[in-house]
Chain A
Amino acid sequence: MQVSALRLLGRPGAILAAAFLVLLALVALAAGLLAPSGPLEQDLSATLEPLSAAHPFGTDEFGRDILVRVIYGARSSLLTAAGAVLIAAAVGVPIGLVAGFFGGWRDAMLMRAVDVLLSLPAILLAMALIAVLGRSQAAALLAVGITGIPSFARVTRAQTLSLRTRDFVMAVEAFGGSATHAMVRAILPNAWSPILVQIVVLSSIAILLEAALAFLGVGIPPPAPSWGEMLRTGKTYLYEAPTYAVLPGAVLTLTILALDTLGRALATALDDRSAPLPEIERRAA
């Protein structure tokens, strides 16, 4: 653990990425203190204003400050991603544990269920779920979370399979420990490093997917500030106010790149060889 933390510290890219993410999280947390106005505060006398000292990112079609909305958008983006990854891990990790530990029909059934989630590109699965659930923040969170379940299930299953026959796991069972005890106390603590890598990788994919859904007009509904929604509306004002779409998109891109960088550095530092063939990218394109 200490060794891997040190190895992570030796990578300037990872430090920079982590610093950016910490800053973003702080800004999102302190949005109410930092922002001079509310994210929904309109000023119809100052619509689509260019960049200025009063409005560093300009204003939108209702005269709302775009920087303020980017800051509040960070909050909803990070919260949605965190919630989605939590759902994906809470469902996916137990699936992988049970499938890998017991094998047999439980493995076959659970993995076929996971295959069903993989039978559509992630963005289409999310869109289908939203078509059923209706458009809301909760629906976006749930839909993004469900698309992440297979990654956790597969990684955890692979780890469980390789740990299953190790002495310390066999010992738990030999001394009469229950299967649950063996899974939770013996296997899980030793399988955490690839799961941790998945958490970071999936956060990036979740932020992108949430923004993509909002960009398509099926994500978090307006007027709530969301990066994807700002790109969607900004697209209609490319001639009048090109920075409207460009700046929120730049913040989104930096966030995704920072998480990707951190994920790669973490995988190298933890010497994660859990995926012999890198998993196919399940990004929204």
Chain B
Amino acid sequence: MIGAILRRLLQIVPVLLLASAGIWAMIYAVPGSPVGAIVGENATAEQVRAAIVRLGLDQPVAAQYWAWLGRALHGDLGLSIQSREPVLALVTGRLPATLQLGVAATLVGLVLGVPVALASAAWPGSWLDRVLSGWSALALGVPTFWLGLLLILLFTVQLHWLPSVAAYVPVWEQPVAALRNLLLPALTLGLYVSGVFARFLRASLLGEMGRDYIRTARAKGLRERDVIGRQAMRNALLPFVTVVGLMTATFVGGSVVTETVFTYPGLGRLLLQAIGVRDYPLIQGCLLVILVIFVLTNLAVDVLYLAIDPRTGARQ
């Protein structure tokens, strides 16, 4: 198993290096000069010269990348062109809001998705299964930006119950206000992900239902509820946990659409705003942080899977 984990680690090193090189090379691919992309097109000649020396832009390209990566690893992601603030502070400042929405959406997804999967798997092929599967397909297919607007129309425009603009309120400081702000975006994102969860868990449960141990459990006279809820669930849970982990990782920066619907101050919207004003150091910083979190979470999920189920190590 340790060998399998080491192999995965060795696999992600080139991926991280290549992806970060791509992010770094952005400033060479955009129109204009690379130094202009970093200090802004309105910088003075003096600022430009200072940046060339500071960032080593007169060095060979490979040396420039290593220097950039080295600074990034020490937490120096440069300054935002727009606000002249350190990029790292701007990016980490958005993390709590992003995590709060991501966790809330995952919880909503689990609460709505798991019962649907259990009921579907209990009576496969029945009318209930068909209705629930149709519901999951709907939850998964409806674009979040349309669903979000419908929710705003209902709860804000018609009923005046909830705000259409969701501010970030830390849940442990003001739970009620946090809930009011979080409800609509978390519901929007949670409904979508509940479709993903329900479909995946149903498929894994049905995969388990045909196994011998299930037949044994039934033959022993266990109640059907326990056969599914305890016996099958225990084995179906393993791949399901990885899916839940991967979806939560996707929400780090990846819920930019829902954030935009509700003007929520998350990491994805910071990136979007940075693209809007061509603030390349900020764009690079956002992408780099999201990249590292996304890849490491994927790795953690893989390692967890290996740790619980040693068979996967042998199979690879």
Q: Which residue on chain B has the smallest CB distance to residue A214?
A: B145
Among B140, B145, B257, residue most surrounded by chain A Cβ atoms (within 10 Å): B145
Contact of A218 among B153, B272, B294, B295 (CB under 8 A): B272
Pair A121/B254 contact, Cβ less than 8 Å? yes
Among B140, B144, B146, B283, residue most surrounded by chain A Cβ atoms (within 10 Å): B146
Q: Bound state CA distance, A218 and B276, in angstroms?
A: 8
Q: Mark A148-188, 1 if CB is under 8 A from B, else 0.
A: 00000000000000000000000000000000000000000
For the complex, is B228 an interface residue (Cβ under 8 Å from A)?
A: no
Chain B residues within 8 Å of A242, by CB = 153, 157
Q: Bound state CA distance, A151 and B283, in angstroms?
A: 26
Spell out B's residues near A (CB within 8 Å).
11-12, 14-16, 18-19, 22-23, 26, 29-31, 137-138, 140-146, 149-150, 152-153, 156-157, 164, 189, 192-193, 196, 199-200, 203, 239, 243, 246-247, 250-251, 253-258, 260-261, 268, 271-272, 275-276, 278, 280, 283, 287, 290-291, 294-295
List 16 other contacts, CB 8 Å, given A130-B275, A131-B283, A231-B146.
A112-B11, A113-B18, A119-B15, A127-B275, A131-B26, A212-B257, A216-B260, A217-B276, A218-B275, A231-B149, A246-B149, A246-B153, A252-B146, A257-B138, A285-B144, A285-B258
Chain B residues within 8 Å of A212, by CB = 143, 145, 257
Pair A128/B283 contact, Cβ less than 8 Å? yes
For the complex, is A115 an interface residue (Cβ under 8 Å from B)?
A: yes
Chain A residues within 8 Å of B200, by CB = 278
Chain B residues within 8 Å of A204, by CB = 141
Contact of B137 among A112, A132, A260, A277 (CB under 8 A): A260
Pair B146/A249 contact, Cβ less than 8 Å? yes
Q: Give the distance to chain A from B165, nearest Cβ to Cβ, in Å.
A: 11
Q: Bound state CA distance, A131 and B31, in angstroms?
A: 11
Quick one: given A131-B275, A134-B31, A246-B153, are A216 and B199 in contact (CB under 8 Å)?
no
Chain B residues within 8 Å of A238, by CB = 149, 152-153, 156-157, 164
Q: Give the distance to chain B from A165, nearest Cβ to Cβ, in Å.
A: 18
Q: Bound state CA distance, A235 and B18, in angstroms?
A: 38
Pair B254/A256 contact, Cβ less than 8 Å? no
Q: Which residue on chain B has the smallest CB distance to residue A258?
A: B141
Chain B residues within 8 Å of A256, by CB = 141-143
Q: Which 6 A-B residue pairs are closest in the complex by CB-CB distance? A: A121-B254, A249-B146, A119-B19, A132-B29, A257-B141, A115-B15
Q: Which residue on chain A has the smallest CB distance to residue B252?
A: A121
Chain A residues within 8 Å of B287, by CB = 120, 124, 128
Chain A residues within 8 Å of B149, by CB = 231, 234-235, 238, 245-246, 249
A-B contact pairs, 21 of them (CB 8 A): A112-B14, A112-B15, A119-B15, A119-B291, A119-B295, A120-B19, A120-B294, A124-B287, A127-B275, A211-B143, A212-B145, A216-B260, A245-B146, A246-B150, A246-B153, A249-B146, A253-B141, A253-B142, A260-B137, A285-B189, A285-B257
Contact of B261 among A235, A239, A281 (CB under 8 A): A235
Chain B residues within 8 Å of A261, by CB = 137
Q: Mark A256-276, 1 if CB is under 8 A from B, else 0.
A: 110011001000000000000
Interface contacts (Cβ under 8 Å), in number, total: 149
Pair B272/A132 contact, Cβ less than 8 Å? no
Give the interface SS of chain A, mostly helix, strand, loop or mixed.
Answer: helix
Among A116, A119, A211, residue most surrounded by chain B Cβ atoms (within 10 Å): A119
Chain B residues within 8 Å of A127, by CB = 256, 271-272, 275
Chain A residues within 8 Å of B143, by CB = 208, 211-212, 249, 252-253, 256, 284
Q: Bound state CA distance, A127 and B282, in angstroms?
A: 14
Q: Bound state CA distance, A252 and B156, in angstroms?
A: 23
Pair B203/A278 contact, Cβ less than 8 Å? yes
Q: Give the distance to chain B from A57, nearest Cβ to Cβ, in Å.
A: 15
Pair B11/A115 contact, Cβ less than 8 Å? yes
Pair B253/A285 contact, Cβ less than 8 Å? no
Pair B276/A285 contact, Cβ less than 8 Å? no
Q: Which residue on chain B has the smallest CB distance to residue A276?
A: B207
Q: Bound state CA distance, A121 and B26, in angstroms?
A: 18
Q: Give the distance to chain B from A61, nearest Cβ to Cβ, in Å.
A: 16
Chain A residues within 8 Å of B15, by CB = 112, 115-116, 119
Quick one: given A215-B257, A281-B196, are A231 and B145 in contact (CB under 8 Å)?
yes
Q: Bound state CA distance, A260 and B23, in angstroms?
A: 33
Q: Bound state CA distance, A127 and B200, in angstroms?
A: 28
Chain A residues within 8 Å of B295, by CB = 119
Q: Bound state CA distance, A245 and B153, in angstroms?
A: 10
Q: Bound state CA distance, A119 and B299, in angstroms?
A: 11
Quick one: given A112-B15, A120-B287, A121-B254, are A281 and B140 in contact (CB under 8 Å)?
yes
Pair B144/A264 contact, Cβ less than 8 Å? no
Q: Which residue on chain B has the smallest CB distance to residue A133?
A: B29
Pair A215/B260 contact, Cβ less than 8 Å? yes
Q: Give the distance to chain B from A244, nearest Cβ to Cβ, in Å.
A: 10
Chain A residues within 8 Å of B291, by CB = 119-120
Chain B residues within 8 Å of A113, by CB = 18
Q: Which residue on chain A has the smallest CB distance to residue B16?
A: A119
